[in-house]
Amino acid sequence: MAFATKMTVPGVRARKGGKALTCVTAYDAPTAALLDEAGVDLVLVGDSVGNVVLGYESTIPVTMDEMVHHVRAVRRGMSRALLIADMPFLSYQPGTEEAIRNAGRFLKEGAEAVKLEGGPEVAGTVAALVAAGIPVMGHVGLMPQRLRLLGGPRSQGRDAASAAGIWRGARALERAGVFAIVLESVPSELARRVTRDCAVPTVGIGAGPFCDGQVLVFHDLVGLTASPPPFAKAWGRGRLEFRRALAGYRRDVESGRWPSARGGADLPVAELAELDAMIRDLGDKA
Ligand code: KIV
């Protein structure tokens, strides 16, 4: 199936209340190509690259340089979906100037929008980025960059006051000019209200069915994650398939079943005779 239409920021906005948006993370070119082929709308180079592929315990150590490396790779692999780059910890909090420099760097490297975590406290930064021509996706609810404050990846908005804080944060982001908002690990009835009251699409992760779209980490959805988060669903058995393939490779190499004698590009008989003569000659001189 061909999905020819290029996804754009206005295209994302236009999906408010319409067909659900699909967003998936990617960190490399072949995965990005798969997502593009599958017709996914948004490809997020998430700072989850830190814990998903770089072996960090959280997203906190991820740097701008690491993110740029992965954004470049993803850009090379895809063209149709909208490419969103996640602003890593401390790449936008120090101030507006730094935020514009870093977000602008992502756009120069091929991202089409950036995502950053926070509510009213980042609204000024969001407005400045948008004024500079940089589309911004917001992110409220569980904000993994604040893991140390929260004491762990806990779901958020579990009482009326904190739920109202998240609702207020989403509205502040909307006023500041975001084109979409990620709602992470919040009750579905809160997500329903944010979705109802914000004019821009909400994209949920662990936020129930009432958002305008959903986002998942690629490795979770294809079954590659050893301990996926409880809200994730795997539509494939990636770990099982990879284990099977690796066991098959090892079995066939160790038993001599692969590669076959005809597996390599063999030399013509005349070339082989000449090679043997040369080796004999070289051997005498070595
Ligand atoms: O970094 C990430 O992958 C994310 C998504 C899970 C929303 O922020």
Q: Which helix (H) or strand (E) holds 236?
A: none
| Nearest of 220, 260, 252 to residue 236 by alpha carbon | 220
Average pLDDT over residues 102-131: 98
Residue nearest to atom 4 of ligand 1 (CA): 46
Atom of ligand 1 nearest to the CA of 216: 6
Distances from the Cα of 277 to the Cα of 264, 267, 285, angstroms = 22, 14, 13
Q: Are 119 and 169 in contact (CB under 8 A)?
A: yes
Which whole number is the average pLDDT over 141-161? 93
Q: Quick one: pLDDT band at residue 261, thresholds 50, 70, 90?
A: confident
Query: Per residue in 201-213, pLDDT tens?
Result: 999 999 999 999 9
Q: How many CA atoms are closer than 13 Å to the CA of 187, on its beta-carbon side?
A: 12
Cβ of 47 less than 6 Å from ligand 1: yes
Q: What is the mean pLDDT of residues 91-111?
A: 95
User: Looking at the annotation, which residues are catalytic?
Assistant: 184
pLDDT of amino acid 152 = 84
Longest dimension (CA), the chain: 87
- In the numeric block, which tokens belong to residue 4? 């020819």
For residues 191 and 183, what is the distance between their CA atoms, to the nearest angstrom? 7
pLDDT tens figures, 228-250 = 999 999 999 999 999 999 999 99
Give the count of alpha carbons within 13 A of 276, CB side only. Answer: 6
pLDDT band at 3 (very low <50, low <70, confident <90, very high): low
pLDDT tens string 33-82: 999 999 999 999 999 999 999 999 999 999 999 999 999 999 999 999 99
Q: What percent of the chain is helix, strand and coil (3-state, nearest 5)?
A: 45, 15, 40
Atom in ligand 1 nearest the alpha carbon of residue 86:
1
Torsion of CA 17, 228, 164, 93, to 10 degrees: -100
pLDDT given for residue 153 in this prediction: 86
The pLDDT of residue 264 is above 70? no
Whether the CB of 220 sits within 6 Å of ligand 1: no
Is residue 2 pLDDT above 70, yes or no? no
Share of the chain above pLDDT 90, in %: 91
Residue 113 CB less than 6 A away from ligand 1? no
Q: Is the pLDDT of residue 110 over 90?
A: yes
Say if ligand 1 is within 6 A of residue 87 CB. Answer: no
Answer yes or no: is pLDDT of 10 > 60: yes
Take atom 2 of ligand 1 and give the residue whose Cα is closest: 46
178 CB near ligand 1 (under 6 Å): no
Q: Amino acid identity of 47?
A: D
**Relative to the CA of 115, which ligand 1 atom is closest?**
8
Q: What is the pLDDT of residues 172-181, one digit of tens each?
A: 999 999 999 9
Q: Which atom of ligand 1 is nearest to the CA of 215?
A: 7
The confidence score (pLDDT) of residue 27 equals 98
Ligand 1 pocket member 221 (CB < 6 A): no
Peptide bond into 259 cis (omega under 30): yes
Query: Which phi and psi (to 5°) does residue 67 adopt?
Result: -65, -45
pLDDT attached to residue 8: 98
Angle (CA) 50 55 57, round 5°: 70
Percent of the chain whose pLDDT exceeds 70: 97
Q: Which of 35, 184, 214, 225 to mutate to test the pocket of ligand 1 (most atoms within 8 A of CB)?
A: 184
Task: Report the pLDDT value the prediction gives residue 232, as an integer from 0 to 100.
Answer: 96
Burial of 272 (0-12, 13-18, 19+ CB in 10 A): exposed
pTM: 0.94
